[in-house]
A and B are shown apart, each in its own frame.
Chain A
Amino acid sequence: MSVAVDVAVIGAGPGSLTAAAYLASAGAKVVVLEATDVAGGAGAAPVDVGGLSVPGTPATLHALDPRVVMDLKLTRRGLRFSVRDLPLVALRADDRLMIDRDRHATANSLAQLSHRDATRFDEFRRDLFAAARALRALWWEAGVPPDASTRSNLRRLGMLSAEAMLEAAFETEAVKAACGFDALQAGISPSSAGSSLLLAWRAAQEMCGLQGAVAIPRGGGPTLASTLLQAASEAGVELRVGTKVASIHVDDDRVRAAVLATGEFVPARVILSNLSRRATLMNLLPPEAAGFAMVTRLRDERTVGEATILMTLNAVPDFAMACPLARFVMVERLDAVVAAHTEARLGRIPTEFALEAVIPTASDPGLAADTTLLCVTVRPLPVAPAGGWPSHVAELFERVVQRLSHHAPRLRSSITGLNVVLPRADQDRVTAAHIASDWPARLATPVEGLFLCGDAAEPVPAVSCRAGRLAAALASAYLKWGAP
């Protein structure tokens, strides 16, 4: 048996490192137990692309909690952004739109297709941003209960699909499709009730002081992981890599210890889990501890996800020649993506998927020396296609390259390396009810002293670290006063 700690944290992802750093700074004795040999989460390990080692995904950040950046002094520790706010360039067969923070530039671009949409877009964004700001009270602002109008707004959005929201707002397919890409997250169909909350959640985020911005961290994903690790270790967190937790010992309805695969007990008053709710409650707890109804609900697996294809190129793609610093979104029609979602849910690679391409090396050439790194996010895709992913990877590459080639004819010949980060199978199924839930409900579990601090505790899975900060607050309160 190990020495007892105040808090044992399962997994060393961004959320759990954040929680550990906060708790250790507050004086708690914290140990982080990471099953793999690399701490920092999926983005911390480099990826091999054509023999070149490039930083792991994600290439961009859109939801990082500014309070975490400030409290843990991440900027001082080296977290810098090479681009603070990427504009969105929508590429379609016949048109190209740019949606920028500059409202005049955006209006001018949209006016090529529709004057009504050009006028309407600014109003739409303003309304969405205002509604989204109010919903922060629900999603993460501790101590600020959402007011009546926010609750009513939440109910409205909880019933509204992203497709219906965009259909009502705009007349041109190009604008709907461009705005709709951000609603293709978390495996929810843009036509399902409540999917408009995804757009609101995205709009509620603040990156680099700008609401709804998308930023590129200098040095890529590993920079965030290394700064968090530094913060955690300076605060006194003990990190144990290569340490797999096999179960959580529960006695009298409260956690007592993390039990390692080696059989070792790590006694702890609080356990934070960076794993999915499903993995935490179904795999680590005794069957009855999580509650029968809860476990039955968790048996519904997530079926739709997204993949990221990393390409190294010896030339900048044609579509990015004029303006390489942008998110290039390729969605022909929003209704086609809705159909694609259905195909993905049935385990098929969709006929027509949506792409988002970003070139991190355009702003940070040091990421991949003398080469262009292209990160392409593909949505929606089946988490477990029929026959398994190995038999579909070549087909996926071919179809993505084909699609990109419409806007960059010389792309195929410029590819020097390819790799793919497949849809994650370890994530929980996200529902509109989950996104609309209060933050304490998302972090809490049925077992006293056990909280979630990773993607599972976020309204929408993303690199945010916010769940870690909030889990630390809950854990501190529990250590001090016990269960409420």
Chain B
Amino acid sequence: MSTDLRATPFHARSAAANACNAWETRNGFTLASHYGDVAREALAARFAAVMVDLSWQPRVILGEPTAPQFASRLFTRDVSQLAPEEAAKALWLNDDAGVRGVGTVVRLDRETFVVISATGDLPWFRDAAVQFKAAASEATGQGMLALVGHMSDRILRAAGLDPSLRPMTLRRTFWRGLDVTLSRLGLGYELWCEPDDGSIVWDRLVAAGRSFALRPAGQLAMDILELENGVVRPGRDFAPAGEAGGPTVQDLGLSDLVDARQPFNGRAAFRRAGSPSRLVGLVFDTDAPMPETPLVRNGDKVGRSLGALHSPAMRQPIGLGVLDGGAPDSELIAGSVPCRAIALPILPIPAPIPPTTEVPPPPV
């Protein structure tokens, strides 16, 4: 594996904006941690919009005519039922039903899927693909810029893009001389572009977003936004499983992402793994505890915590946790820290404001 640091297609523009020179590495890519103030960047998504470089996220292409059959066995939901340009969130498990990854599976066309996740897992996909005479290859490197915030619709419209997309869909489009793809797979919109077009896409969005207080945000702000919205990310919130063992679907409270009616790798072990637990948000009174801290109610262990961060919007630490049973909205102790379990999302991003609000004609 190469240890060279790679630059994303937006690196030149990101470097110019990153006055405080705060960088971090994800998946081998050099990325801005923040552009001066993490809290302001996280809050900006609630009051205006931010753009975040997601080009580092590993993307794996599944191809060949047998790819639909392969994909339906690989993931915990039957993604072969997706129409082209539709997407679904799904898990992939090892033979023991350990969760190897969580990601978004997008059907590009009849025979091609792309898997987007925080952990690539290409060797696993490649080895499994052989059994189905399918192919798995890496597609990371293409530019992917997320536009998050309730002004995002207006910014896209101002930039000349049509934002009318249903969640978990994408549309390939020709944007003033550029081939781009606009999608709604995460917290907002994502704009996919060719590596060479990264600077142009960035500049166009900055220009269109100037009057909507658009600003770039770093990876730390994106982490906060994801946690506030209840997005579980392997590597941050839990250690993904390897060849065997590892955290099960039930351990992570991700049963909603599983359709046990259809066969998938690890289904037998998943069925044996016991009753489902529930993924909840945690709001801590003081400092956030370490991940995997037991959650205690009336002296009984009722779950455990996952990742946690400080939320600028709530002005207190928040995190994710898994409850073995019982309802949220209850008082718990995480280690020695009092906390409250609440239903997800903890604090959703306000819905985008439509670009134009048509006033209905008065009744006659």
Contacts and interface: CB of A to CB of B under 8 A. Distances in A.
A448 B271 CA distance: 12
Interface string B91-109: 0001100000000000000
Interface string B159-203: 000000000000000000000000000000000000000000000
A contact face: mostly helix, strand, loop, or mixed? loop
A71 B112 CA distance: 58
Interface residues of A, number: 14
A293 B271 contact: no
B10 interface: no
Contacts of B243: 293
A39 to B, nearest CB: 32
B268 A446 contact: yes
Given A292-B131, A296-B127, 10 more contacts: A253-B263, A253-B267, A287-B73, A291-B94, A292-B124, A292-B265, A293-B95, A296-B128, A299-B130, A446-B268
A296 B94 CA distance: 12
A288 B127 contact: no
Interface in B247-296: 263-268, 271
A292 B94 contact: yes
A446 B94 CA distance: 12
A287 B74 CA distance: 11
B271 A253 contact: yes
A288 B268 contact: no
29 contacts: A253-B263, A253-B268, A253-B271, A287-B73, A287-B131, A287-B132, A288-B73, A288-B131, A288-B263, A288-B264, A289-B263, A291-B94, A291-B95, A291-B265, A291-B266, A292-B74, A292-B124, A292-B128, A292-B131, A293-B94, A293-B95, A293-B243, A295-B131, A296-B127, A296-B128, A299-B130, A446-B95, A447-B268, A448-B268
Interface residues of B, number: 19
A294 interface: yes
Most chain B C-beta atoms within 10 Å of own C-beta, residue among A253, A291, A294, A447: A291
B139 interface: no
Interface of A: 253, 287-289, 291-296, 299, 446-448
Given A293-B244, A294-B95, A296-B127, A288 B271 contact: no
Contacts of A446: 95, 268
A253 B130 CA distance: 21
Contacts of B128: 292, 296
A299 B268 CA distance: 22
Interface in B178-235: none
Contacts of B244: 293
A292 B95 contact: yes
B321 to A, nearest CB: 29
Contacts of B263: 253, 288-289
B30 to A, nearest CB: 33
A291 B127 CA distance: 11
Nearest to A251: B263
Contacts of A289: 263
A293 B266 CA distance: 10
Nearest to B127: A296
Interface string B62-102: 00000000000110000000000000000000110000000
A57 B268 CA distance: 40
Nearest to B66: A287
A299 B128 CA distance: 11
A293 B265 CA distance: 9
A299 B73 CA distance: 19
B219 to A, nearest CB: 31
B249 to A, nearest CB: 16
Q: Which of A292, A296, A446, A447 has the most CB of B within 10 A?
A: A292
Nearest to A483: B272
Contacts of A295: 131
A471 to B, nearest CB: 19
Contacts of B94: 291-293
A287 B264 CA distance: 10
A299 B131 CA distance: 10
Contacts of A294: 95
B312 to A, nearest CB: 42
Nearest to B126: A296
B127 A292 contact: yes
Interface in B102-155: 124, 127-128, 130-132
A289 B268 CA distance: 9
B213 to A, nearest CB: 47
Contacts of B264: 288
B95 to A, nearest CB: 3
B104 to A, nearest CB: 20
B209 to A, nearest CB: 44
A253 B268 CA distance: 6
A447 B263 CA distance: 12
A209 to B, nearest CB: 41
Contacts of B131: 287-288, 292, 295
A447 B94 CA distance: 15
A239 to B, nearest CB: 32
Nearest to A291: B95
Contacts of B266: 291
The 5 closest A-B pairs by CB, nearest first: A291-B95, A288-B73, A287-B131, A292-B128, A253-B268
Contacts of A288: 73, 131, 263-265
Contacts of A293: 94-95, 243-244
Interface string B340-361: 0000000000000000000000
A296 B95 CA distance: 11
Nearest to B133: A287
A433 to B, nearest CB: 12
A287 to B, nearest CB: 4
A299 B132 CA distance: 14
Contacts of A299: 130
Nearest to A250: B263
Contacts of B130: 299
Nearest to A253: B268
Which of A293, A446, A448 has the most B CB atoms < 10 Å from its CB? Answer: A293
Contacts of B265: 288, 291-292
Contacts of A448: 268
Contacts of A447: 268
A299 B124 CA distance: 14
A291 B266 CA distance: 7
Contacts of B74: 292
Nearest to A289: B263
A182 to B, nearest CB: 32
Nearest to B131: A287
A299 B94 CA distance: 17
A295 B127 CA distance: 9
B332 to A, nearest CB: 35
Nearest to A448: B268
Nearest to A288: B73
A289 B73 CA distance: 9
A294 B124 CA distance: 12
A256 to B, nearest CB: 13
Contacts of A296: 127-128
Nearest to B124: A292
A287 B129 CA distance: 10
